[in-house]
Amino acid sequence: MTDKTFTIQGRTGPWELVMGLEIHAQVASRAKLFSGAAVGFGAGPNEQVSLVDAGFPGMLPVLNKFCVEQAVRTGLGLNAQINRRSQFDRKNYFYPDLPTGYQISQLFYPIVGEGVVEVEAEDGSFFNVGIERLHLEQDAGKLIHDLSPTESYVDLNRAGTALMEIVSRPDIRSPDEAVAYVKKIRTILIYLGTCDGDMEKGNLRADVNVSVCRPGQYEKFKDTGDFSHLGTRCEIKNVNSFRFINQAINYEARRQIEILEDGGTVDQETRLYDPTAGETRSMRSKEEAMDYRYFPDPDLLPLELEQAWIDEIRASLPELPDEKRRRFMSQYGLSQYDAGVLISEQAKADWFEAAAKGRDAKLVSNWVTNELSARLAADGSDFADCKLPPAYVAELVELIETNVISSKIAKEVFDHVWNGEGSPAQVVEKHGLKQVTDTGAIEKAVDDIIAANPDKAAAVAEKPQAVGWFVGQVMKATGGKANPAVVNEILKAKLGL
């Protein structure tokens, strides 16, 4: 374990990283958390704002039950404890994107407690990340500074939208692990249908807490729970892509190491990652940290959940990525890697299963993860929008399995199918791509080639692997349609191998 730990080599020796993440995931819901106003991307400025969102006098929050259901569903998907009693608190601060002057969040009693997520690392090994809590809270609006040189504008469309904040334990030890963890959470949320995971729209973003320490310190922390064994952490706010998460952590860790090796101390602060400059910059120090004056929101009663309702939600959970991966391995005999690639997107996994029915699953998996994935990626599309029916790949694989076409010809068939020329069988028919298994025709081709190349035919006796050249020639002569097994057999007989 220790020898695998990610380290950064400093001037004075190796350093290890410790990270905890706070993922903000926008709840997939048509209405906001407390106002009933619509949620949507692309509406005109301030078109999706109710009087509650705008903080008008006498307006009161009313909890959206569907958002609660989504949070519970997510908690169950994270193998976490669902708290039957939770509470909403106010986080008070002034900012123009926060109309009421407070954000309704859950500080003291979150709806979801401890859980654990199993994450697959790059090398195929697994590591666990503890979930400390998940709580519901409101998002803020948006300030627009570039419309006027002298004024700032406020768009409250996002104000009041429901967010789930998923707080991890400091169990993440490398930039790659951080990315793998966020990917895993994102996949789970998409499977659950509780967040669309769209990072470009900011619907999923992460605050990354980074600290560095000397080897051995983390183990002391794990043994005692005493954070003083770890370095001082900095929080990098609102990182919204996998690449930026990786870059921001790498930059931030090196920055901290440099300070420490110069004999300085790391200040606990909030920082921002600037992707253009590739660096993190201080936003505010601990001293400047705001006093949010949290207290229970007196407009809302404590949230109490019936166990039966939680059980109902549990019963309605879809098969989650971990289960699906295990099932794909056992049911279809796929490797961990292939299964992992297929389950990384629910649509891909579903597409695969639709195509694999009754066919050679490994072959189908190869077509799905290689050829089809590449075509979709090139078109900027994905499996959710895939126009090709799974039955076509199933048919293609069947044609290979039944020796109607060779694997090589299958690629050509796929090209035609992809271009909309019909089903694989129709394409094979139309372009005459059926494999030649007529031994007479193949024998004739073999005879012709041996006759034209007596020297090579003689050489094969000493160098049997040279038969490959003959195979190639026969395939060429038959337009690639000859059944390779039949060609091999005839060549061996005629060349006396």
Partner 1 sequence: MSDLTKLTLKAAVDGLKARDFSSEEITRAFLANIETANPRLNAYVLPTADKALDMARAADARLAKGEGGPLEGAPLGVKDLFCTDGVQTTAGSNMLKGFVPPYESTVTANLWRDGAVMLGKLNMDEFAMGSSNETSAFGPVVNPWKSGVSNADLTPGGSSGGSASAVAGDLCLAATASDTGGSIRQPAAFTGTVGVKPTYGRASRFGMVAFASSLDQAGPITKTVEDAAILLRSMCSFDPKDSTSLDVETPDWSQSLGKSVKGLRIGIPNEYVVDGMPAEQMELWEKGQAWLREAGAEIVEISLPHTKYALPAYYIIAPAEASSNLARYDGMRFGHRAAEAKSLTDLYETSRAEGFGKEVQRRLTIGAYVLSAGFYDAYYVRALKVRRRIAEDFDKVWDRVDAILTPSTPSAAFAIGDRQIDPVTMYLNDVFTVTANLAGLPGISVPAGLDKAGLPLGLQVIGKALDEATVFQVAGALEDAAGFVARPEKWW
Positions touching partner 1 (CB under 8 A) are 51, 54-63, 90, 92, 94, 96, 99-102, 154, 291, 293-295, 298-301
Contact in structure between 60 and 118 (CB atoms under 8 Å): no
Q: How far is the CB of 180 from partner 1 (least distance, A)?
A: 36
Residue 285's nearest CA partner among 244, 247, 240, 232 is 232
Q: How far is the CB of 310 from partner 1 (least distance, A)?
A: 21
Q: How far is the CB of 156 from partner 1 (least distance, A)?
A: 9
DSSP codes joined into one string, 261-324: HTT--PPPEEEEEETTTTEEEEEEETTT------EE-TTSPPEE--HHHHHHHHHTPPPPHHHH
Q: How far is the CB of 157 from partner 1 (least distance, A)?
A: 15
Contact in structure between 421 and 430 (CB atoms under 8 Å): yes
Map residue 78 onto helix, strand or coil. Answer: coil
Cα 178 to its chain centre, rounded Å, is 12
Q: How far is the CB of 145 from partner 1 (least distance, A)?
A: 12
| β-strand pairing of 162-168 with 126-138 | antiparallel
C-beta of 46 vs 366, nearer to partner 1 = 46
Q: How far is the CB of 85 from partner 1 (least distance, A)?
A: 16
C-beta of 101 vs 318, nearer to partner 1 = 101
C-beta of 301 vs 384, nearer to partner 1 = 301
Q: From CA 437, how far away is CA 451, in angstroms rounded?
A: 22
C-beta of 151 vs 262, nearer to partner 1 = 151
Q: How far is the CB of 94 from partner 1 (least distance, A)?
A: 6
Q: How far is the CB of 348 from partner 1 (least distance, A)?
A: 42
C-beta of 103 vs 365, nearer to partner 1 = 103
C-beta of 92 vs 437, nearer to partner 1 = 92
C-beta of 61 vs 75, nearer to partner 1 = 61
| β-strand pairing of 234-239 with 269-274 | parallel
Q: From CA 251, how far away is CA 284, in angstroms rounded?
A: 18
One-letter amino acid of 319? E
C-beta of 222 vs 293, nearer to partner 1 = 293
Q: From CA 58, how far away is CA 56, in angstroms rounded?
A: 6
C-beta of 86 vs 203, nearer to partner 1 = 86
Q: How far is the CB of 95 from partner 1 (least distance, A)?
A: 8
User: Would you put residue 418 in left (φ > 0), alpha (ψ -120 to 50) or beta?
Assistant: alpha
Map residue 151 onto helix, strand or coil. Answer: coil
Map residue 86 onto helix, strand or coil. Answer: strand
DSSP codes joined into one string, 11-52: TTEEEEEEEEEEEEEE---SB-SSS--B--SSPPTTSS--TT
Contact in structure between 351 and 342 (CB atoms under 8 Å): no
- The single-letter DSSP state of residue 105 is E
C-beta of 63 vs 305, nearer to partner 1 = 63
| β-strand pairing of 102-105 with 89-92 | antiparallel
Q: How far is the CB of 300 from partner 1 (least distance, A)?
A: 5
Instruction: Name residues whose C-beta falls within 8 Å of residue 200's C-beta, 6 or more positions apart in sequence.
Output: 240, 241
Q: How far is the CB of 59 from partner 1 (least distance, A)?
A: 8
C-beta of 89 vs 395, nearer to partner 1 = 89
Map residue 350 onto helix, strand or coil. Answer: helix
